[in-house]
Amino acid sequence: MNKTLDPLVQVKDLNVHFVSKDATVHAVNGIDFELHQQETLCVLGESGSGKSVMLRSLMRLNPSHKTVITGTLRVNGQDLINASERELCNMRGRVVSMIFQEPMTALDPVFKIGLQIAETIVRHEGVSRAQADKRALDLLELVQIPSAKQRLNAYPFEMSGGLRQRAMIAIALACKPKLLLADEPTTALDATVQIQILLLLRKLQKELGMGVIFVTHDLGVAGEIADRIAVMYAGRFIEEGPTRALMQNPLHPYTQGLLGATVNPGMRGKRLITIPGAPPNLEHLPKGCAFAPRCSKVNSQCLSEMPHTKRPYPDRAARCVLLADAL
């Protein structure tokens, strides 16, 4: 990972709101981060925290007719906030690709796997169909699908969940993107297949030199694959830092709660400490800290003002009034 070069991804004060005649949903609220080549950022949080909305914003996939997006969003130097639809189409798949959460719904059920991979290559690289078919076979072998040649002519429903997920990865990697987005790609898989997919992604990232943003709610997955972790709550990054440091010394009460509610091998006979309550309604965010109603360390300041980002260590950041900046 070379941080002397310009960041692959630059996000500053990113806000994503969904507007309808009945309500406005504040899904993403002022996110800032950078990602460099060959770096993996894992975004961690409960369902409904805005993780997938943020990820889809990096490809401008949220429905345009009801989405208001503001801030700075640059991938590989390209301004995506003001990009035209043609520019976005040229960028998707070639510069940035996405592995979606459920391959059975992401893959087209009426087209064979080989065709779905080949059409991406033809669209972005202008090669012949025969060349694209050969590349599709190479990609299925790259993601370690057994009997790859036969699988080219298989429909998605003829493959297991693990093989469909590998095919989804092959499509995402078809044009060797600089940035790979992974939206909980192992959630529906059993533990053995999940480990295989994580090891495969890590291997492919190293071989292709990609930046990766990986969304999950699984701390074990985050610890396995990430260089840095960003913890998301109510559409905001409430803590960010290197993986080992964050997991060994969480700064924000919410991160502490997530770690305390996670099962690990040394917990036999012990009770899990759960986080009470539920995430806030993104239509009506509270005035102060969004986590305050669930926090055991809450005080009056938490309820009256939005916490600013504090940096208690040079490479750590967290939004909590209980923390102090490093001197």
Q: Give pLDDT, residue 2.
A: 56
**Amino acid type, 113:** I
Extents of the domains making up the chain: 9-95+177-319, 108-176
CATH class belonging to 9-95+177-319: alpha beta
Q: Give pLDDT, residue 260.
A: 83
Tokens for 311, please give them: 């940096």
**Amino acid type, 37:** Q
Q: Give pLDDT, residue 1.
A: 58
Cα–Cα distance for residue pair 297/250, rounded to 1 Å: 14
In the sheet that holds 40-44, the strands lie side by side as 96-99, 179-183, 211-216, 40-44, 228-233, 236-242, 317-319, 309-310
Tokens for 32, please give them: 């800032």
Q: Is the dihedral of CA 224, 226, 232, 238 positive or negative?
A: positive
Q: Give pLDDT, residue 327.
A: 46
Average pLDDT, 10 consecutive residues per value, the chain (327 residues): 76 95 92 94 92 93 92 94 92 91 83 92 89 91 89 92 87 90 80 80 85 88 90 95 94 91 70 84 90 91 90 93 77
Contact 251, 316 (CB under 8 A): yes
pTM > 0.75: yes or no:
yes
Neighbours of 218 (CB within 10 A): 15
DSSP string, 173-223: TTT--SEEEEESTTTTS-HHHHHHHHHHHHHHHHHHT-EEEEEES-HHHHH
